[in-house]
Structure formats: C-alpha cells, structure tokens
Structure 1
Amino acid sequence: IHTGVSTSGCVRATALDACQHGFVPIVVRDACGDRDPKIHESNLFDLDAKYADVVSEREVLDYLSTLTTGN
C-alpha cells in the first residue's frame, strides 16, 4: 500500500519497483500528492492503467477491516 508526497517521484518509483518484483501495488489516491494537481492526476492515471491499483483511502480501510488476525 503506497502513499506519499511526490506522486510523480517516490510514489511512482516505489510502485514500479513493487510491480517489477511481482507484487500488485496499491496506490492510495487521496493519500498522495504532488506539486501540481495535473501532474498528480496524470501519474495516477498512468499507474492505474499499467502498473498498480489506484484506490481511495476508504476502499483500503474497508478492505483491511475484512481481514482477520488468524486467532
């Protein structure tokens, strides 16, 4: 699950690395940002189209709440 301050930099690079290592990256749309909203949105569009699942914070929290601890 990826979040961060530079969607076009660190977030994108980390998601691509995860993808190249066989993981399906999850990028949290509203927990990332960039210096320009257009750059942020274009990188999210590209990541979602090719490399990652781009989802909202609510979607991540809803999914995590369904997981059990195994106890």
Structure 2
Amino acid sequence: MGFFGTSLASYLAANRIDTLVITGVSTSGCVRATTLDACQHGYLPFVVGDACGDRTEVIQQGNLYDLQAKYAEVISCEKAEELLRASSEQG
C-alpha cells in the first residue's frame, strides 16, 4: 500500500509525476490498494501483470482482470520497459 501512511502523494506532486508503474505482491492486497489510491489521487496507474503475484493463479488473474476493467492499464514487463525507455528518451 504505497500511499497509506506515507509521503508518496506529496513526493509525486512535488516532482510533477502523473503516471505510476506498479508491481508487487500481493495483487489482491497491496497492488490493488496502491492502484485504487493512485486513481483516487488522480494518477494514471500501469500495473505490470507479470511483475505481480498472489496466492494462486486464479486469484492473480481475477484481480488483474478486474484492475484492467476498472482502474488501470495492465501491461507486461516488456511493455513497461518499452514505455519507460521512450519516456526517458523524451526528457
């Protein structure tokens, strides 16, 4: 849970960051909470599906499906690397 009880929102605002790349364990817990909080704070969340995990594959896939449907873009590690590379090249 990246936002709760931390200074993450202040840090992101101070540095004019508007997009987040989210990874972690567990997808149904911390990843989901961080993604929802990112939305509530007005950030664009990208969840890297193959850089997340959960107790079972069914739980993992169900949560990724739901996050994609409602709150985030779920992308692969390969796509995340591509987007980060393009972003760093732009400045």
What range is the shorter-chain TM-score in?
Answer: over 0.9
Partner of 1:4: 24
TM-score, scaled relative to structure 1 = 0.93
* Runs (5+) with no aligned partner, structure 2: 1-20
Superposed structure 1 runs of 4+ greater than 3 Å apart = none
- What amino acid does structure 2 have at the position aligned with 1:18? A
Partner of 2:45: 25
Structure of greater relative contact order (alpha carbons < 8 Å, 6+ residues apart)? 1
State whether structure 2 residue 80 is matched by structure 1 residue 60.
Answer: yes
1:25-68 Cα deviation digits (max 9, x unpaired): 11001000000110000000000000001000000101111122
What is the RMSD of the two structures over their aligned residues, measured on CA atoms?
1.0
TM-score, scaled relative to structure 2 = 0.73
Task: Give the % identical residues.
Answer: 59
1:69 Cα deviation after fit? 6.2
Q: How many residues align?
A: 70
What secondary structure, in the 3-state scheme, does the structure 2 residue paired with 1:2 have?
A: strand
* Runs (5+) with no aligned partner, structure 1: none
1:23 Cα deviation after fit? 0.8
